[in-house]
Structure 1
Amino acid sequence: MKAILTVVGQDKVGIVAEVSRFLAEEQINILDISQTILDGYFTMMMAVMVPENSDVKQIATKLAELGQALKVDINLKNEEIYRAMHQL
C-alpha cells in the first residue's frame, strides 16, 4: 500500500535517521522524500510503500510513539485519503 508519512517539529539532530531506521525495520520502502527547515521547524514528507501484509494501524501507532520520543509529530496515512481530498 502506498502511503504518505509526515514529520513536523522543532529541528534537532537524528530525526531523519530515526524515522528511516524504523521504516527499514518494518520493510517500508521510501519512494520519495522532501524535507526543509522553516524558522527552526523541521518538516518532512515521504511517499512510502508499506508491505501488503503489514498492520498499518499498528505501524501508525508505533510511528506516533517514535514521534513522542523525538518530540515531533509523525503521521502515516493511506495515499488514497490524500488523493480523495484533492479530487473535490
Structure 2
Amino acid sequence: MKAILTTVGEDQVGIIAGVSQYLAENKVNILDLSQTIMDGYFTMMMMVDVPENEKEFGVLAQELADLGQKLGVEIRIRNEEIYRAMHHL
C-alpha cells in the first residue's frame, strides 16, 4: 500500500537517519522524497510503499509518531487513498 509520510520540526542532526532506519527495519520502501529546510525548520515528505503483510498500519503510524517525539519532530503517515479521495470531491 502506498502512503504519504511527513516529517516537520526544528532542524537538527539525525532526523533523516532516524526515519530512514525505522523504515528500513520495517521493510517500508521509500519511493519518492522531498525535503527542505526553511528558516531553521526541517520539512520532509515521502511517498512510501508499506508492505501489507508486515505490521498493522495503525501500529506503524503510532510507532512513527513516537519516533518523532524522540527525534523532536512531528511524523505522520497517511494512506495515499485519503489524498486521492480528497481530490475527487
The two structures have a TM-score, normalised by structure 1, of 0.97
Q: Which residue of 1 aligns with 2:47?
A: 47
Given residue 68 of structure 1, which amino acid in structure 2 is its aligned partner?
A: Q
Aligned letter for 1:7?
T
The answer for unaligned runs of 5 or more in structure 2 is none
Instruction: Tell me the distance in 2 between the aligned counterparts of 1:87 and 1:14.
Output: 37
Mapped partners of 2:21, 2:9: distance in 1: 18
**Aligned AA (1:84):** A
Q: What secondary structure sits across from 1:52 in the alignment?
A: coil
In percent, how many aligned pairs have the same letter? 66
> What is the TM-score of this pair, normalised by structure 2?
0.96
Q: CA RMSD in A?
A: 0.6
For the pair 1:75 / 2:76, whether they are aligned, the reply is yes
| Equivalent residue pairs, number | 88
**Stretches of structure 1 lacking an aligned partner (at least 5 in a row):** none
Structure 1's consecutive aligned runs of 4 or more residues displaced over 6 angstroms after TM superposition are none
Paired with 1:23 and 1:58, the residues of 2 have a C-alpha distance of 13
